[in-house]
Amino acid sequence: MKFCSSCGANIRIEVPAGDNRPRHVCNSCEEVHYSNPKIIAGCLPVFEDKVLLCKRAIEPRIGYWTLPAGFMENNESTEQAASRETLEEANARVSSLQLYSLTSMTHISHVQMIYLAQLDDLDFFPGEESLEVELFTEANIPWEDIAFQSITNALRCYFEDRQNQQFPLRHFEINTPSKRPLNKASA
């Protein structure tokens, strides 16, 4: 941030009085501009013994598989965001959403919330951000081609929890970037 969104003046970085972190502060109107983590919401859609995955058509990680998820919009709940992202990326309708996986990604200031959900029907197809959309059994998941560690974590826990039919809220912290190549072309 270089300019104040309130008055357009230049910004300085300092720890405001009563705060404990550096913030963007306007040189003119003194408004403090906070930069907070972004929320990613998505679904782990289930149909019988299969889960629905999307092959990414956009960066980052184009060509890799993921769960349908994306950034939460203003004026929606995390559950609404997860359903919307599933519809946008896989044209899939889901129900019975239950918060399942919460991942703090401190290195990029993101929080990911994945909801376990039932796939309502098999009338799904790729949205604009997906190259392919497919149902996978545990044995057929392309584990080496999963886009993000947070998705691998959620999927592994799901298949483990499915054995007991108990799906507790799972919490993860990822503090370092992935060492995987960014896209399939560079793999």
Q: Whole-angstrom Cα distance, residue 43 to residue 62?
A: 19
Q: What is the percent of the chain with per-residue pLDDT over 70, rounded to a whole number? A: 95
Burial of 94 (0-12, 13-18, 19+ CB in 10 A): buried
Residue-level pLDDT at 158: 98
Residue-level pLDDT at 40: 98
The model's pLDDT over 57-83, given as tens digits with 9 standing for 90+, comes to: 999 999 999 999 999 999 999 999 999
Q: What DSSP state is assigned to residue 72?
A: P
Burial of 50 (0-12, 13-18, 19+ CB in 10 A): middle
Three-state SS at 18: coil
Q: Whole-angstrom Cα distance, residue 163 to residue 142?
A: 20
Across the chain, what does the average pLDDT equal?
95
pTM of the model: 0.89
Q: What is the topology classification, in CATH, of domain 1-35?
A: Ubiquitin Ligase Nedd4; Chain: W; (2.20.70)
Return the domain boundaries, the chain: 1-35, 38-186
Q: How many CA atoms lie within 13 A of 134 on its CB side?
A: 12
Residue-level pLDDT at 183: 57
The model's pLDDT over 97-144, given as tens digits with 9 standing for 90+, comes to: 999 999 999 999 999 999 999 999 999 999 999 999 999 999 999 999
Mean pLDDT of 161-170: 97
Residue-level pLDDT at 138: 98
Q: Whole-angstrom Cα distance, residue 83 to residue 94?
A: 7
**Would you say domain 38-186 falls under CATH 3.90.79.10?**
yes
